[in-house]
Amino acid sequence: MFLNVQLQGISSSTVYNIIKRFRESGEISASKWQGRRPTLNVRDLRSLRRHCIKKTTSFCNGYYHMGSGTLQKTIVSEHSSSLHLQVQVKTLPCKSKAIYQQHLCSDESTFLIVFGNHGRRVLRAKEEKDCPDCFQRKVQKPASLMVWGCVSAHGMSNMHICEGTINAKRYIQVLEQHMLPSKQRLFQGRPCLFQQDNAKPHSARVTTAWLHSKRVRVLDWPACSPDLSPIENVWCVMKHKIRQLRPRTVEQLKLYIKQEWERIPPTKLQQLVSLVPKRLLSVVKRKVM
């Protein structure tokens, strides 16, 4: 028998284990392995099922794509791409994080009052397609607020809620009332580089002249440049948290915006600023400007 087994290419230990298993249990097949312990136990599965039934809107995409939208910018020409690459390389003279401690990043963002289900998808059973709770609800042209702020590794400015449309004149007033005091408070006379995008109120001649008269150094910003400013991540975090609070009125939205702005920890700002060199280097390597 063992000669036949050897001719079949089966080891003698395998034959011994099969005979032993047959004598002990009467079976020749191996028992099913226990395998890896499941991540969710029975109680966790029941809790997950209740959550999916109660809140049919999926928020997974909101978590997964947090921060990725800041890189989705359109390139208009190869000339612009070349300018972007030159600026990124110029901004990377040294890989030390100290140079980015001098940046004061400014930006505006719009916060909406969104009613109904939040999210792109709804989790439901096949027979629930006509259930009203599973419908996506929208409000055409919901109420909104335009918010201005600036951040740095040393802290944040006072947040300003803009009333009406922002033009060059109103933008200068915001800078004079909020940016200059925050710059003095955060940097205390140390050198500072002001960062803003190329929105029309920012790049207007009157705005450029005002910044020059106040001796504010401004970071060069090519057209259609990818926005790698840390404040974009701050806006994203705030919007995600405010969306969970579900404000119903403009006053509630103002209150939630101020609360979430003040709750941003200093360690979070330092972490975002420290990641700027890595982002710039990644953009330069890919030559995707």
Q: In which domain, by residue range, is 230 found?
A: 55-286
Calculate what percentage of the chain has a pLDDT beyond 90: 27
Number of domains in the chain: 1
**pLDDT of res. 17:** 83
Residue 160 lies in a domain: yes
Only one residue has tokens 């939040």, namely 118
Residue 85 clears pLDDT 60, i.e. is over it: no
Q: For residue range 156-184, what is the model confidence (pLDDT) as tens digits? A: 998 899 988 889 999 999 999 999 999 99
Which conformational region is residue 155 in: left (phi greater than 0), alpha (psi within -120 to 50 degrees), or beta? Answer: left
In contact, 203 and 172? CB cutoff 8 Å = no
Q: For residue range 267-288, what is the model confidence (pLDDT) as tens digits? A: 999 888 888 888 777 777 776 5
**pLDDT of res. 71:** 42
Residue 24 lies in a domain: no
Q: For residue range 114-146, what is the model confidence (pLDDT) as tens digits? A: 765 555 677 778 888 788 777 777 777 778 899
Number of H helices and E strands in the chain, helices first, is: 13, 5
Q: What is the CA radius of gyration of the chain?
A: 29
83 φ/ψ angles, rounded to the nearest 5 degrees: -65, -40
> Following DSSP, what letter does each residue of 204-270 receive, concatenated?
SHHHHHHHHHTT--B----TT-----HHHHHHHHHHHHHHHH---SHHHHHHHHHHHHHT--HHHHH
**pLDDT of res. 82:** 54
Residue 173 lies in a domain: yes
Residue 2 lies in a domain: no
Residue 29 lies in a domain: no
Residue 15 lies in a domain: no
What residues contact 206, with CB distance under 8 A and at least 6 apart? 168, 169, 172
Q: For residue range 199-228, what is the model confidence (pLDDT) as tens digits? A: 899 989 999 999 999 999 998 877 666 667
Residue 81 clears pLDDT 70, i.e. is over it: no
**pLDDT of res. 34:** 58
CATH number of the domain residue 91 falls in: 3.30.420.10
Q: What is the mean pLDDT of residues 20-41?
A: 76
**Paired strand residues for 111:** 145
Residue 212 lies in a domain: yes
Q: What is the mean pLDDT of residues 185-189?
A: 89
Residue 16 lies in a domain: no
Residue 258 clears pLDDT 90, i.e. is over it: yes
What confidence tier does 63 reach under pLDDT thresholds 50, 70, 90?
Answer: very low
**pLDDT of res. 53:** 73
Residue 112 clears pLDDT 70, i.e. is over it: yes
When the pLDDT of each residue in the chain is averaged and rounded to a whole number, the result is 78
Residue 94 clears pLDDT 60, i.e. is over it: no
